[in-house]
Amino acid sequence: MKRESLAKIHSLLLQWGKDNFRYYPWRETKDPYKILIAEILLHRTRADQVVPLYQKFTLRFPTIRAIVEADIDEIKELLASAGLFWRIDLIYRMAQDIESDFNGRIPEDKQDLLSLPGVGNYIASAIRCFAWNHPEILVDTNTVRITGRIFGTKVNDGSRRQKQFLLKMEELLDRENPADFNFALLDLGSKICLSREPLCEKCPISSFCKSAFQKKI
């Protein structure tokens, strides 16, 4: 895509993202610890369900050290009510690793993040992007769908692992404003570029999208 088109997409998307920003408590912090906890809780769980849990959890355990020093039963009590059983052990083990290997601080390095239990590519990239504004692509169902539509590329289950497709996502990323860009892209996927019936007439970037207003996309 031409450089001018990309620049226009970035500015349109950033403005739209600002006007349509979905407020969640983990979006109002740059604290990598809080972003990490939010991302783990958000895995396969609705954001509105996560909000009260996240607030209770980060209030009771404001740091990695607080988790390490806590009784695991207390963590169980907090998370089990929401059915988040598998995350209890994970958070406990992860906190212990961060305490012992990184002196209680969330590492900024990608490989260090990926070495932690339960931290995959998406969570590592989200922490680096939202806490430190590193230019990271966030590869999930929504962002893959939007990218495929913008470039007019068919997507399937394997797209997120294909180098060519990931290069398209890298091309689309606003490297000057990665955090705001990614928030906007996630919000666009949730409000406008819907899976079944995208609302192209309301889309800020429809003039740059190869799939805009097509019946079958």
Q: Which is nearer to ligand SF4, 40 or 217 (CB)?
A: 217
Q: Which is nearer to ligand SF4, 124 or 150 (CB)?
A: 150
Nearest distance from residue 150's CB to ligand SF4, in Å? 5
Nearest distance from residue 51's CB to ligand SF4, in Å? 27
Q: Which residues bind ligand SF4 (CB under 6 A)?
A: 146, 149-150, 192-193, 198-200, 203, 205-206, 209, 211-212, 217
Q: Which is nearer to ligand SF4, 123 or 144 (CB)?
A: 144
Q: Which is nearer to ligand SF4, 19 or 74 (CB)?
A: 19
Q: Which is nearer to ligand SF4, 179 or 185 (CB)?
A: 185
Nearest distance from residue 187's CB to ligand SF4, in Å? 12
- Please, are residues 154 and 210 in contact by the beta-carbon 8 Å criterion? no
Q: How far is CA 105 from CA 97, 102, 213, in A?
A: 10, 6, 47
Nearest distance from residue 181's CB to ligand SF4, in Å? 14
Nearest distance from residue 203's CB to ligand SF4, in Å? 3
Nearest distance from residue 214's CB to ligand SF4, in Å? 8
Q: Which is nearer to ligand SF4, 81 or 190 (CB)?
A: 190
3-state SS of the chain is CCHHHHHHHHHHHHHHHHHCCCCCHHHCCCCHHHHHHHHHHHCCCCHHHHHHHHHHHHHHCCCHHHHHHCCHHHHHHHHHCCCCHHHHHHHHHHHHHHHHHHCCCCCCCHHHHHCCCCCCHHHHHHHHHHHHCCCCCCCCHHHHHHHHHHHCCCCCCCHHHCHHHHHHHHHHCCCCCHHHHHHHHHHHHHHCCCCCCCCHHHCCCHHHCCCCCCCCC
* Tokens encoding 84: 């988040």
**What residues have CB less than 8 Å from 100, skipping those under 6 apart?**
none
